[in-house]
Structure 1
Amino acid sequence: MSRMKPTRNLMLVVCFILVLLFLYYSSWRLHLRIWWQKSQSEMDNVFTVGRVVDSVYDKQGFLLKLDGKLPQELMYKYGNLSKGACKPGYSAAKMTAIYPAFKKPAPMFLDRNFRRLTKTSNYLPPFGFKTQERIIESILATAKNYGLGYELDRLSCKRCIIMGNGGILSNKSLGSIIDKYDVIVRLNQAPVKGFEKDVGSKTTLRITYPEGAFQKTDSYEKDSLFVFSAFKPLDFKWLRHIVFKERLRGIEGFWKSVANSVPKQPSEMRILNPYFIQEAAFKFIGLPMNNGVMGKGNIPTLGTVAITMALHNCDEVAVAGFSYDLNYPHAPLHYYEKVKMSAIKESWTHNIWKEKEFLKKLVMAGVIQDLTCGI
């Protein structure tokens, strides 16, 4: 028995040491784990803060730091062109430089293959053409033309200008400069006759919707295309009435009186691709999607839609007559009437201020040129 006592004591000491080692090891593992988690959390915070502080894009995907300088790769492409020469693909290239998600291919007008446009086929007007396919097919079959026309379609480089209707155009004497553009886009009921000195005398296409169309047939230019933009399903029924000279049964659903006829042949009529409304609203401006249905503050103005169209289909894009500035309430709202800027009220459908933020990005980056410096 006396010999076993030291052995037993030794075993107790060994067990005690093992227990201490186990406790030490466990506490070390626990400390290491806590340290690792803390370190990871701190690193995550660093990276998160870094993304906020050092992010180069805003929430819409545009560069945060914008200037008109050409990126190096574009400098090689366009830097040596002679002054005044049309720059092929220029606006799209600069747009891609500040908004990498931009993809240029998007047809200006609907053609007989319009059902293949998957980005718009699942949306109701104004963001698509769902439920209106049969009416569109019948109109396109009658029109038989889906481009700008032979001379313009064959140009290797097109310079386009989108004409806003702002009073800022008055007394600028830009008419001769505007007339030099290959494609001159006008909107709704903005007149030309009597204002040629400031707004030019030519019109390539006039984009409008039922309530925005001229009601007097002699107000339309003879050599321009009538381009229809739909904002609600009822608008397509109105277009069918115009194309086929049918009787328009009632005007319920329109927010004001609409034209009963348009002095254009079906071959002079086009349907604007609704993708431009969708892209301008949800991708460029960041308006609420509202499940793809027209709602409060989620419809871009026709001017911004036209600019979006031009970015996809023109090589150089300019604008004139874009200006809403409530700091000057007594300034003329439009160049062709005496209504003042103070007449602007909060719009149910548009968000003018968010649109202006988007257009400012384009001007600051040199994607578009603002001839009247109103944006």
Structure 2
Amino acid sequence: MECFQRDYTLIVYREHITDNPTFHQMNHFNVKNKTLMDYLVMSQESGRPDHAAGKKCYIKEIDSQYSTLKRQKKCAVIGNSGILLESKCGSIIDSYDLVIRANMAPVRGYESDVGNKTDLMLVNDEMLGNLDTVLSSGPQTEREREIWRTLTSLNNTILWYPKDTSKHTTLLQNIAKALKKKKLHVQVAFSLKDIYSDVKWKYNLWRYPSSGLYMLAVAEAVCQSTAIFGFYPYEKDDFGKKVLRHYYEKNLTNFKTWAHNFDAEYHMLMSRRDEGLIDMITNPCVPKS
């Protein structure tokens, strides 16, 4: 593994979540009177940290609680569009080295279309609140029960919050402690820095990036090749068949939102596909009989 990248590094609790988990991002780390930013710039310029000549740099050299997400060969980023229904892409998705999903999207009952493997699960601000409620008070609504089923089905999955951790430090700590108390097979991770601005400018978008773009940005940083499934922001497919906004929510059909420009994102993704930067799968993986 090479010296970790400054912008898209994920740091993960290595073995066990501590009793008092911390979620300090770049500006809060200190290494021998240097900030982590200084450390990383120094490492990039010299190829190695000055206190460990001849060694590759790892986050565990700074804080033994953590490890960095390892580089991967082939990664699959799974969006939540209803275009996945009847796609029969499940076995292909599960064949990838790293599978990234978002916001506790369920796989039980959808395995043949979306697969079963989940290595990295992004959670946004809304889902953080949902997880805290489910873990502290128990699931009450059908969606909360679905979140709980998904959470308990995860196996050595990394739960990842990509944004500014200072906004939700207590919430993240509560979730981490509850996961440990309930002995769920989930690790907790956060980005070394809030990558909002990096994602926004990387993909040249003026609205808020969707969760899918955060997943893609990390995949492109740590994976040799990336394929995306379930990214489709339209109400009908190429054959005029109705497409659900989320494959697991039968009544959610409204694709419009003030926060994201899904049409612009989709066209950007097609451009990256045409340039050979990503594989983009929107058709069924197995032809329908």
Q: 1:175: how far off?
A: 0.8
TM-score (norm 1): 0.51
Q: Is the 8 A contact 1:332 1:338 kept in 2?
A: yes
Match of 2:190 among 250, 271, 275: 271
TM-fit CA distance, 1:359: 1.4
Q: Tell me whether 208-217 or 190-199 shows the greater mean CA deviation.
A: 208-217
Residue identity opposite 1:302 in structure 2: S
The letter for the 2-side match of 1:109 is L
Change in Cα spacing, 1:237 to 1:308, as seen in structure 2 (3 Å) is same
1:276, 1:241 → 2: CA distance? 23
- 8 Å CA contact 1:160, 1:182 repeated in 2: yes
Check conservation: 2:163, 2:195, Cα contact below 8 A.
no
Given candidates 285, 298, 303, the residue that maps to 2:204 is: 285
Task: Say if 2:105 and 2:150, in contact at 8 Å, map to a contact too.
Answer: no
Equivalences for residues 1-375 of structure 1 within 5 A: 106-110=7-11, 114-115=26-27, 116-117=36-37, 144-148=65-69, 153=70, 158-213=73-128, 214=131, 215=134, 216-220=147-151, 221-230=154-163, 233-245=166-178, 264=184, 268-274=187-193, 276-287=195-206, 297=207, 299-326=208-235, 330-341=242-253, 343-347=254-258, 349-373=259-283
3-state SS of 1:269 partner: strand
Distance 1:178 1:279, change over 3 A: same
1:105 shift after superposition: 6.2
In 2, Cα distance between equivalents of 1:238 and 1:371: 35
Structure 1 residue 324: deviation in Å?
0.5
CA deviation string 1:134-187 (max 9, x = no partner): xxxxxx96x813333xxxx3x7x5210100000000001111111110000010
Structure 2 residue identity aligned to 1:336 = Y
Q: 1:263 to 1:231 in 2, by over 3 A?
A: farther
Distance 1:346 1:201 in 2: 29
Structure 1 unmatched runs, 5+ = 1-103, 119-139, 246-258, 288-296
How big is the shift at 1:358? Answer: 1.9
Aligned to 2:137: none
- Provide the aligned C-alpha RMSD in A: 3.4
Percent of matched pairs sharing the same residue = 24
**SS class of match (1:146):** strand
Q: Secondary structure at the match of 1:279?
A: helix
Q: CA deviation at 1:344?
A: 2.3
CA distance in 1, matches of 2:244, 2:222: 32
| Paired letter, 1:317 | T
Once the two structures are TM-superposed, the CA of residue 373 in structure 1 deviates from its matched residue by 4.8
Which amino acid in the other structure matches residue 306 of structure 1?
A: M
- Give the structure with the higher percent strand: 2
Question: What TM-score do you get using the length of structure 2 for normalisation?
Answer: 0.65
Conserved? CA contact 1:210–1:238, under 8 Å = no
Greater relative contact order: 1 or 2 (C-alpha under 8 angstroms, separation 6 or more)?
A: 2
1:296-324: CA deviation from partner (whole Å, max 9, x where unpaired): x3x20110111011111110100000000
Question: For 1:363 and 1:373, how far apart are their aligned partners in 2?
Answer: 14
Contact 2:162 2:194 survives alignment (8 Å):
no
Question: Aligned AA for 1:192?
Answer: V
Output the amino acid matched with 1:219.
T
- Shift in alpha-carbon separation, 1:113–1:305, aligned structure 2, 3 A: closer
Give the drift of 1:336. 1.1
